[in-house]
Structure 1
Amino acid sequence: MTIDMHTHVWGGRYETHTRELIANCERYDIAKIIVSGIAAQYPGEAEIEQHNRDVVRFRQERPDLVEGYVYANPRNADASRVVRSGIEDNGMIGLKLWIATYCDDPLVYPLVELCIEYDVPILLHAFHKAVRQLPDETTGVQVANLASRYPEAKLIMAHLGGNAYHGLKAIRDFPNVWTDFSGSLFGREDIDYAVSQVGTDRILFGSDMPGCSFITNFAQVQEADLTPQQKEDIYRNNAIRLFRLKL
C-alpha cells in the first residue's frame, strides 16, 4: 500500500475532487492521502478559510483515509492564527505553502517557527522553469536558504524542485529537506539522479492528484534502479516516519 503525501482539493470543486481521490485510492490500494486545498495564487483570508474547511470536511468524512495540511498565505495578517488553529483545533499534520511568497521571505519565518514548535513538516511548492516562472515561485535555492536558517525545520521541496538537476543540487546538503516528485513527468534517470543526490530516505511519494496521474508517478519508482526495500521506503515508510502516521 502507498502513502500519497501530495494531493489536493481545488477550491470550488469539492465533490468532484474528493470523489476522484477516493476512487483512485480504492483502485490503486492507497492507504492514506495527505490533502491541501488551493486555488488562487494570492488567496485572501476568506479563501484560505474555505480551503481549510474543505480539508477538515474531507477528513471528517473519511478519517480512515485522509490527513490534511493547513494552508496559509504568509501575506495575510491572520496567517499565524490560521496555522495554530489548523494544527491545534483541526488536527492538521503539516503546513502547505504555495506561490504567495518565496519560501525564504521573512513573512514566512513566523509560520516556520510555529511548525518547529508543533514538530510538523512544511510542504513547499518549488519549481524552476526555463520560461514562465511565476512571481514569488520558490525554487530549490530558496528552499536551501530556508533550510539553512532553520535547520530544525522539516521541509519538503515538492516536484524535485521542478528541475531535478537544479533543485536537488541546492538542497542535497541539508538533511532537514525531503523531496517529492509529484505532478511532474520525470524519467527513470531523474529518479535515479534524485537517489544519488539525497538517498532514498529523503524521497517521498506524491502524485499531485487530481489533475495529475497517480499511476504515472507510481511507475516512475517501478522503473528506477531501486531495491524492493528502497521502493517500499519511497512508497510509504518515509512518509510514515516523517508525519508519524498510524495506519
Structure 2
Amino acid sequence: MIHPNPRTPAMPALAIPPWSPMPPPEVLAGFEIWDSYLTQSRGAALMPSLEALMPVVERFALQKLCFFADVGLGTGNAAVEKWAREHSNEIEAPLRRWPDLMLGMIQLNAGDVPASMRALDRWLRDGTMKGVYFPGSAPGGLNCTHPNFDPLVARIHELGGAIMVHTWFKTGEEAGPHGSTPADLVALAARHPRQTFICAHAGGNWELGIQAVRGSPNIVVETSGFDATAGFIEMAARELGAERILFGSHLPSRSLGTELGKVLFADIGEEEKKLILGGNFRRLLGMGR
C-alpha cells in the first residue's frame, strides 16, 4: 500500500489524494455531480434499466442524470421505434418518476428535418426536455457537417436547448456518412457561433479531439466512453480550460468508478473538478451557477 509523504502539506477538505480508494458518498456529495451522459436501455426496458441504476446513484451521490430519449424519429431499432410511437406518454416517465434526479434530451434524426422540427416543438417547446442528442451511427445518425443540421440547430437555439453530438475518431478510417468527428463538429459550430455544442466522448482519441476543438470556444468536451488514461483531464483543462469540460458516466455500459476516477484523481485543482463534475453542466443548462 502506498502511504502519503508525511511532509506533504495538508489538503483542502474535498481533496482526493491519488492513493485513495473511491471516496464515500458524503465526500462525493460535496462535488455536486451532474451526469451528462447515460446509455440506459431503450423502449420498454427504459424504466427498469433506470430503476436498476438507483443503488449506484446513491453510492456515488449523483445529483442529476441525463438520459437520451427515442421519440419515434428513426433513431432506434424497429422494436424501440414501435414502442416510442405507441407509448409516447411514457417517454417522459423518468422525469415524472424522479423529478429531482432526472434530466432528458431527445434523440434527433437529422435525416428527417420536418419530423425533427415537430419533435422539437413537442418535447422542448411544449415539453420538459432540456436539449438534443445527435447519435453517431445508423439508424438516425448523419454526419454533422450535413446542411440538414443548420435549420435544426437554429431552432434548438431559439428554444434555448442544449446540443450534444456523438463524436469519434475511428482508427484508420473516416467517420462516414452516419458518424461525426470533433473536426466535423468544429465546422458545424463555426456556422452557429452563438450555440454551445457538447462534443461527446471528446472524440474517443482525446488528444486529437482536444486539439481539434481547441480554437472553437462554443464547443465543450464530454468525458465518457473510453478507458481512463493518465493525462486526459489535465490536457483538456490546460488546452481548453476546466470550464469547457463536462462529466459523463456512460452508465450502465461503463464503470462509474472508472469514469469518475478520470476527474477525481486528475492532477487539477478542486474547484476545477467541481466545475467539470457538475458546475459546467448546470451553467450550460441555465440551471445554476
What is the TM-score with the length of structure 2 in the denominator? 0.78
Which residue does the alignment assign to 2:120? 83
| 2:75–2:81 Cα contact (<8 Å) kept | no
Pick aligned residue for 1:16 from 44, 48, 51: 48
Q: Tell me whether 1:141 sits opposite 2:183 in the alignment.
A: yes
Deviation of the 1:53 alpha carbon: 5.5
Do the aligned residues in 2 keep the contact of 1:37 with 1:54 (CA within 8 Å)? no
Query: 1:35, 1:55 within 8 Å by CA — same for their partners in 2?
Result: no
- 1:175 Cα deviation from its structure 2 partner: 1.0
Asked if the contact 2:105/2:132 (under 8 Å) is kept, the reply is yes
Tell me the secondary structure at the aligned position of residue 130 of structure 1: coil
The question of 1:112 aligning with 2:146 is answered no
Q: CA separation of 1:159/1:106 partners in 2, compared to 1, >3 Å: closer, same or farther?
A: same
C-alpha displacement of 1:5: 0.9
What secondary structure, in the 3-state scheme, does the structure 2 residue paired with 1:106 have? coil
1:164-216 deviations in Å (ceiling 9; x for gaps)? 12111111111111111112113121221111221100000101112112211
Is contact 2:168-2:180 (8 Å) kept? yes
Counterpart mapping for 1:181-192 below 5 A: 181-192=223-234
User: 1:53-98 CA distances to partner (integer Å, 9 max, x unpaired)?
Assistant: 6541111111110010021111124011112211022211111100
Q: Looking at CA atoms only, which structure, 1 or 2, has the larger radius of gyration?
A: 2
* Cα distance in 2 for residues equivalent to 1:29 and 1:164: 27
In the aligned structure 2, how far is the partner of 1:53 from the partner of 1:192? 43
Aligned residues: 247
Alignment TM-score, normalising by the size of structure 1? 0.91
Question: 1:200–1:41: structure 2 CA closer, same or farther, 3 Å change rule?
Answer: farther
Structure 1 or 2: more helix by fraction: 1
Instruction: Please show how residues 112-131 of structure 1 align to structure 2 within 5 Å.
Output: 112-131=153-172
The answer to whether the 8 Å contact 1:48/1:71 transfers is no
Q: Distance in 1 between matches of 2:207 and 2:240?
A: 12
Name stretches of at least 5 consecutive residues in structure 1 with no aligned partner: none
Any stretches of 5+ residues in structure 2 without a counterpart?
1-31
Other-structure match for 1:5: 36
Does 1:47 find its partner at 2:81?
yes
Structure 1 residue aligned with 2:283: 241
Report the RMSD for the aligned CA atoms in angstroms. Answer: 2.5
Contact 1:103/1:143, CA 8 A, preserved across alignment: yes
Q: Aligned equivalents of 2:108 and 2:83: distance in 1?
A: 9
Aligned to 1:59: 95
